[in-house]
Amino acid sequence: MMKLKSCPRCRGDVIVDWDHHGGYEQCLQCGYQHDLKNVVKVERRPVQEMRQR
């Protein structure tokens, strides 16, 4: 996911990504990095299953 103009240091664009340690945010312009502690992964469902409800 990308969050536009969300960097607390330079107001640059931030990507949210995962590695083997967990989730993190990283600025594409200045390189600022921040670990995400309270992240919940959302389960995706097929569109057909959602329409049946």
Q: Between residues 29 and 37, which one has the greater pLDDT?
A: 29
Q: Between residues 33 and 46, which one has the greater pLDDT?
A: 33
- What's the whole-number mean pLDDT along residues 29-52? 77
Confidence of residue 27 (pLDDT cuts 50, 70, 90): very high
Strand order in the sheet with 14-19: 2-3, 14-19, 22-27, 33-35
E strand or H helix that includes residue 34: strand 33-35
- What's the whole-number mean pLDDT along residues 26-33? 96
Q: Domain-by-domain residue ranges, the chain?
A: 2-51
pLDDT for 10 beyond 90 = yes
CATH fold, domain 2-51, is N-terminal domain of TfIIb (2.20.25)
For residue 40, the model assigns a pLDDT of: 66
Can you give the pTM of this predicted structure?
Answer: 0.65
